[in-house]
A and B are shown apart, each in its own frame.
Chain A
């Protein structure tokens, strides 16, 4: 980094202060080291102070979304892929970047369903969403877009259009999800698209598709084995 400074000096140095003073290289290296150490200490401190708050914020946001897509949930537990099915993530057994779904249970301990995150490319950029799945009735019970950069007023209707969101309150997953033009939905596995935002709404359906292909066979295997 010391090499970088001279290249910018000609443009930024005031002639009055440009006169080279006798500064030992010890002082030069020393000042960089001190600056680095002090900076490091401050950053470690700030990190340790804020990390618990940040983690709590993220967990709270996720919990709130899970409660909305799987109505009736009281507690959630993260699950990861294990063998052919899924298994509860043991405390301390979290692997960074691992794909997770969330098992949602009622107060009495019975399973309400699973909250499954998914993402894929939309019209403008990546869409990130969470949806709820009821393995007993084999339907999707809720969908919420977590992050998107779709066109405000058009593509972002996937967040705001109530009629579109209604699609996901009892959406059959067998046979596969089928997008249809607005108003033409007759079967329980069809999804009414949004007029003028067909790409964004189709993107939502394909993200759900991807999620179903990844997780439903595993959930099915786990459920049929009798375990959660």
Chain B
């Protein structure tokens, strides 16, 4: 394969995770953390990065060992690999970022059952070379983090009147408290999905209109 072809393939795998196959918004995976830790932007970012570390790390190992892992026990081995990474991340956060660790709580450990990570191992890392697996994992991480950030920004700004802890609207602002509580998480996600579906509809209509006009 030519150098240009390799680069193109890499870029393709990287970019698809950001929008076209965005794990949270389009594949609707990894919902639990997307709802639970997006009540503030900083929590959303830390979760996105932590999940990304586990995803990229696991993908590298699974891809590197893909010819060696017996198919019959591959899921179990993937789970062992992912659980090891998650435990390490858990310890690292508790040691170096104790405030974030306390805020994220049990959801750090719950990264291990995030269907996104196991899904990527099975669907991609196990069948592709290490560079491609890294590109895929990084792309999915960016997409996942962006989705978490989008939800987090809406919930924190409306629900606390702050962004990253910085007060935006002054004392007179009455925050829409429900946004940082569970119902707010569900509603924000629902409206986000609605907006995306509307945009898709509009794009399809534009496409159909363009086709009709072409001779």
Which of A4, A36, A153 has its CB near the most chain B CB atoms (within 10 A)?
A153
Contact call A31/B70, Cβ cutoff below 8 A: yes
- Main SS at interface, chain A: helix
Q: Does B32 contact A (CB under 8 A)?
A: no
Write the nearest CB–CB distance from A159 to chain B, whole angstroms: 14
* Known contacts A28-B70, A39-B84; is-contact A46 B91 (Cβ 8 Å): yes
Specify which chain A residues have a CB less than 8 angstroms from the CB of B98 in the assembled complex.
Answer: 54, 57-58, 61
Write the nearest CB–CB distance from A23 to chain B, whole angstroms: 5
Write the nearest CB–CB distance from B175 to chain A, whole angstroms: 6
Give the docked Cα–Cα distance between A54 and B73 (Å): 35
Contact call A5/B88, Cβ cutoff below 8 A: no
Which of B69, B74, B75 has its CB near the most chain A CB atoms (within 10 A)?
B75
Contact call A54/B87, Cβ cutoff below 8 A: no
Write the nearest CB–CB distance from A77 to chain B, whole angstroms: 24
Q: Does A107 contact B (CB under 8 A)?
A: no
Count of chain A residues with Cβ under 8 Å from any Cβ of B? 36
The digit string for A110-143, where 1 denotes a CB below 8 A from any CB of B, is 0000000000000000000000000000000000
Give the docked Cα–Cα distance between A53 and B94 (Å): 8
Contact call A4/B76, Cβ cutoff below 8 A: yes
Contact call A32/B71, Cβ cutoff below 8 A: no
Contact call B91/A54, Cβ cutoff below 8 A: yes
* Known contacts A32-B73, A39-B81; is-contact A46 B127 (Cβ 8 Å): no
Contact call A31/B94, Cβ cutoff below 8 A: no
Contact call A31/B73, Cβ cutoff below 8 A: yes
Cβ < 8 Å to A, chain B residues 169-186: 175, 177, 180-181
Q: Does B68 contact A (CB under 8 A)?
A: yes
Q: Does A186 contact B (CB under 8 A)?
A: no
Q: Does A224 contact B (CB under 8 A)?
A: no
* Known contacts A2-B72, A23-B71, A152-B181; is-contact A47 B77 (Cβ 8 Å): no
* Known contacts A53-B96, A152-B160; is-contact A5 B127 (Cβ 8 Å): no
Give the docked Cα–Cα distance between A2 and B76 (Å): 7
The answer, among A47, A58, A152, A153, for a CB contact under 8 Å with B91, is A47
Write the nearest CB–CB distance from B70 to chain A, whole angstroms: 5
The answer, among A23, A35, A43, A57, for a CB contact under 8 Å with B94, is A57
The digit string for A1-34, where 1 denotes a CB below 8 A from any CB of B, is 1101110110010100100110100011001100
Contact call A2/B73, Cβ cutoff below 8 A: yes
Write the nearest CB–CB distance from B159 to chain A, whole angstroms: 8
Cβ < 8 Å to A, chain B residues 82-97: 83-84, 87-88, 91-92, 94-96
Contact call A31/B69, Cβ cutoff below 8 A: yes
Q: Does B198 contact A (CB under 8 A)?
A: no
Residue of B nearest to A14 (CB): B127
Contact call A28/B80, Cβ cutoff below 8 A: no
Closest 10 pairs between A and B when the two form their complex, measured CB to CB = A53-B95, A50-B95, A50-B91, A39-B84, A57-B98, A23-B70, A1-B76, A46-B88, A153-B177, A54-B94
Beyond A5-B72, A49-B95, 7 extra complex contacts between A and B, CB < 8 Å: A23-B71, A35-B77, A35-B81, A46-B91, A152-B180, A152-B181, A153-B175
Residue contacts A-B, CB under 8 angstroms, 18 given: A4-B76, A5-B73, A8-B75, A21-B71, A31-B68, A31-B70, A31-B73, A39-B83, A46-B87, A46-B92, A49-B91, A50-B91, A54-B91, A54-B98, A57-B98, A61-B98, A152-B175, A153-B175
Q: Which residues of B contact A (CB under 8 A)?
A: 68-77, 80-81, 83-84, 87-88, 91-92, 94-96, 98, 122-123, 127, 159-160, 175, 177, 180-181
